[in-house]
């Protein structure tokens, strides 16, 4: 009898874990997809500004100039060039981020023998977030590589173009043919640094601001989190804490993202000179040094302003959507 009950308990736990994972994947995917549609034109601007740091002459004088010229010469379609890849990326990124973040929290609770219902301290939440970012970077790098290549397609010299501009599948397959499977992870060092540190800042800032806002509201009501029956965030609290998190994520390790974008678009924008021996593939450190020599700190932060500006509403949308879904559906 005891053995049967143990089997039922184990099955129930497995079902609960499976449901929790499916829920995190679903909520994260939807939140990421909605935010990406909003932010894509600004992300395209960021990538184009980052990719011109090593050029001898700049195509764009700044983010507004880039947006205006893209709209003028490429229209709405140009502003959303490469959108399928980041939509898939946003769904995969946010699904894996939220899932891994919750799983790392559960692991830390078990290892540290915390009460499962108690809040983790901020240092351990940051550790869980960093782990989630590290895991996600491996999923995200190939998707971002395709996205970046597509976002600079119209910047390639027209004389060097052959046929119509390739779509995401064609870019993906072309990369495999020319560089092999390993080539899909070109620039991964930058993605890994950005996602590991940036995600720690993202979730950490969101949790920190959310706790402050929640405690202030409960204090006005004469309650604490221990005495309040409902400690769910209000929609505006989710949005404000998410907005702060978005700014923190993008500013903290932005140079790593700049180097990553330059490496991933090198084949399109800095093609080898005919009859010249091929140069060795650039490394993360080598590209970082070259960009610093070319434009200093300013070059490493190319596109940072517009990225932080768009990440504030975008991240607010992500957490507003995620927290709202979790509140209403569990």
Q: How confident is the model at residue 296 (pLDDT cuts 50, 70, 90)?
A: very high
| Closest listed residue to residue 328, CA positions, set 226, 207, 206, 238 | 238
pLDDT tens-digit map of 71-109? 888 888 888 877 777 787 788 888 899 999 999 998 999
In a domain, 273, yes or no: no
At 225 the pLDDT is: 83
Range of the domain at 117: 28-153+164-266+281-329
What's the chain's average pLDDT?
Answer: 84
What is the rounded CA–CA span in Å between residue 20 and residue 29? 14
In a domain, 19, yes or no: no
Q: How confident is the model at residue 138 (pLDDT cuts 50, 70, 90)?
A: very high
What is the rounded CA–CA span in Å between residue 72 and residue 238? 37
At 113 the pLDDT is: 79
In a domain, 14, yes or no: no
pLDDT tens-digit map of 53-70? 887 677 888 888 988 998
What mean pLDDT is predicted for residues 245-272?
86
Q: HSE-up of 151 (CA within 13 Å, CB side)?
A: 32
At 8 the pLDDT is: 44
What is the rounded CA–CA span in Å between residue 90 and residue 186? 19
What is the rounded CA–CA span in Å between residue 73 and residue 135? 39
In a domain, 21, yes or no: no
- Whether 256 shows a pLDDT value over 90: the answer reads yes
Q: How many domains does the chain have?
A: 1
What is the rounded CA–CA span in Å between residue 49 and residue 152? 10
Give, to the nearest 10 degrees, the angle between helix 63-79 and helix 2-51: 120
At 117 the pLDDT is: 73
Residue 200's CB is within 10 A of a number of other CB atoms, namely: 24
pLDDT tens-digit map of 225-253? 888 878 889 999 999 999 999 999 988 89
What mean pLDDT is predicted for residues 193-222?
94
pLDDT tens-digit map of 104-133? 998 999 888 777 777 889 999 999 999 999
In a domain, 17, yes or no: no
At 176 the pLDDT is: 93
Q: What percent of the chain has pLDDT over 70?
A: 88
What is the rounded CA–CA span in Å between residue 327 and residue 216? 20
Q: How confident is the model at residue 278 (pLDDT cuts 50, 70, 90)?
A: low
What is the rounded CA–CA span in Å between residue 8 and residue 14? 10
> Model's pTM, two decimal places?
0.80
At 228 the pLDDT is: 80
CATH code, domain with 233: 1.50.40.10
At 275 the pLDDT is: 54
Contacts of 241 (CB under 8 A, 6+ apart): 205, 206, 207, 208, 209, 210, 213, 233, 319
- Whether 3 shows a pLDDT value over 80: the answer reads no
What is the rounded CA–CA span in Å between residue 43 and residue 144? 11
At 317 the pLDDT is: 92
How far from 237 is each of 116, 231, 287, 324, 326, CA to CA, in Å? 24, 12, 40, 11, 15
Residue 79's CB is within 10 A of a number of other CB atoms, namely: 16
In a domain, 8, yes or no: no
What mean pLDDT is predicted for residues 158-182?
81
At 162 the pLDDT is: 62
In a domain, 184, yes or no: yes
Cα dihedral angle (187, 190, 193, 198), rounded to 10 degrees? -120
- Whether 34 shows a pLDDT value over 50: the answer reads yes
In a domain, 313, yes or no: yes
Q: How confident is the model at residue 192 (pLDDT cuts 50, 70, 90)?
A: very high
């Amino acid at each position: 009898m005891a053995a049967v009950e143990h089997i039922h308990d184990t099955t129930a736990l497995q079902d609960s874990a499976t449901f929790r994972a499916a829920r995190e994947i679903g909520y994260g995917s939807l939140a990421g997809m909605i935010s990406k549609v909003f932010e894509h034109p600004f992300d395209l601007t960021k990538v184009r500004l980052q990719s011109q740091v090593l050029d001898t002459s700049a195509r764009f004088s700044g983010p507004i100039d880039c947006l205006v010229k893209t709209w003028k010469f490429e229209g709405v379609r140009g502003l959303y060039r490469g959108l399928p890849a980041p939509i898939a990326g946003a769904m995969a990124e946010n699904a894996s981020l939220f899932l891994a973040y919750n799983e790392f929290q559960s692991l830390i609770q078990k290892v540290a023998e915390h009460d499962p219902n108690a809040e983790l301290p901020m240092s351990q939440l940051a550790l869980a977030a960093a782990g989630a970012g590290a895991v996600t970077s491996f999923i995200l790098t190939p998707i971002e590589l395709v996205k970046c290549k597509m976002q600079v397609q119209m910047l390639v010299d027209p004389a060097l173009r052959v046929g119509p501009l390739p779509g995401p599948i064609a870019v993906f397959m072309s990369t495999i043919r020319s560089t092999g499977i390993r080539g899909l992870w070109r620039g991964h060092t930058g993605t890994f640094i950005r996602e590991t540190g940036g995600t720690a800042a993202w979730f950490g800032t969101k949790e920190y601001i959310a706790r402050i806002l929640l405690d202030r509201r409960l204090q006005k009501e004469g309650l604490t989190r221990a005495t309040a029956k409902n400690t769910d965030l209000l929609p505006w609290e989710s949005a404000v804490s998410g907005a702060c998190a978005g700014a923190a994520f993008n500013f903290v390790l932005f140079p790593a993202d700049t180097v990553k974008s330059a490496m991933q678009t090198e084949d399109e924008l800095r093609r080898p000179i005919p009859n010249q021996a091929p140069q060795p593939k650039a490394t993360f450190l080598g590209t970082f040094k070259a960009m610093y020599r070319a434009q200093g700190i300013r070059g490493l932060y190319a596109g940072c302003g517009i990225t932080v500006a768009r990440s504030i509403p975008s991240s607010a949308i992500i957490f507003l959507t995620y927290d709202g879904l979790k509140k209403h559906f569990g």
